[in-house]
Amino acid sequence: MAEVKVVTDSAIYLPSELIDKYGIELVPEVIMFGDKTYRDGIDLHRHEFFTLLKQAKDLPTTSAPSPQDFIDAYQKAAREANSIACILVTAGFSAMGLESAITARESFSQVPVEIFDSRTAVGAYGLIVLAAARAAASGKSLPEVIKAAEDVRDRVTVILTLETLEYVAKGGRIGKAAFWAGTLLDIKPILEIPPSSGVFEPLERVRTRPKALNRLLGLMEERVGTNKPVHVSIDHGDVLDEAEWLKNQVMSRFNCAEVYVNDFAPVAGAHAGPGVIALSFYADD
């Protein structure tokens, strides 16, 4: 019996082999195209999502897992561990997900459940969950697993560029970036998700896609330098060639402890749109 099991929602950004290796329990998010409902990772896989998105006449809607979904995950986790660390995507994107997890905990008494708001998303969220899962795999206690998540949350950065602000604006997750709404078609926005707000915030705007991708690299160097070991996640919305180019640039410029490339999760992709590419990273102390 393990001491701690990590539970998270399916908006996580990690390679499937790491999810399997560390036994991370996923609670599926829900995506709706018209009258068709899909459970992320069960009825709809990431490589299929952007094909549907590009063909859709109307933007899809999304829904957080229900309390029963979390209860089911807690029950499964409790068969394998003495406690549960439930780590969630920022409540700035999914307050209902946090509420569902809390509601589920109130009616679940098999083992202790600690709920942790990552205050971020995309690859940064994945790196936080990975740190917690590694701590759990090493036999750490529940408070120690949560501390591992907190330590990465305090250091991790996620910056991203979009083909357009159209999707994030319509999805209502644009934060202060709304002041760019009048020039949606004229810019390649660079955004971040700071833990202080947990929503998209504007950083810069440039005029071409190559400039945007190179600026992501420049911002990473400004934040972490080039000497310390860095942990990196590159996440993309159906632009694998650009993601691989970015990976090669990161590996040649930085001292990489690990680098992962992931498809954008459907729930986030519905709001970011095709062509989104995100760079998440933190440096070792």
Asked whether residue 222 is assigned to any structural domain, the reply reads yes
For residues 27-38, average pLDDT: 91
Q: Are 18 and 102 in a shared domain? A: yes
Choose between 60 and 100: higher pLDDT: 100
- This prediction has a pTM of 0.93
How confident is the model over 113-147, as pLDDT tens digits?
A: 999 999 999 999 999 999 999 999 999 999 999 99
- 217 lies in the same domain as 78: no
Tokens of 96: 């209902």
Q: Give the model's pLDDT for residue 94.
A: 79
Q: Residue 245: which CATH number?
A: 3.30.1180.10
Pairing relationship of beta strands 84-88 and 5-9 according to DSSP bridges: parallel
19 and 113 housed in the same domain: yes
Residues 130 and 238 in one domain: no
Domains held by the chain: number: 2
* Residue range of the domain that includes 161: 157-283
Strand partners, 246: none
For residue 132, give the CATH number of its domain.
3.40.50.10440
The alpha carbon torsion through 27, 32, 33, 38 (nearest 10 deg) reads 40
Beta-carbon count within 10 A of 52 CB = 16
Burial of residue 196 (number of CB atoms within 10 Å: 0-12, 13-18, 19+):
exposed
Q: Of 101, 124, 153, which one is at a domain's C-terminal end?
A: 153
Q: What pLDDT score does 93 carry? A: 79
Same domain as 72, residue 89: yes
- Kindly state whether residues 143 and 169 are assigned to the same domain: no
Report yes or no on 36 lying in a domain: no
Q: Which of 95, 128, 153 is the last residue of a domain?
A: 153
* Last residue of one domain, picked from the residues 95, 129, 153: 153
Q: Per residue in 62-71, pLDDT tens? A: 889 999 999 9
193 in the same domain as 240? yes
Q: 178 and 144 in one domain?
A: no
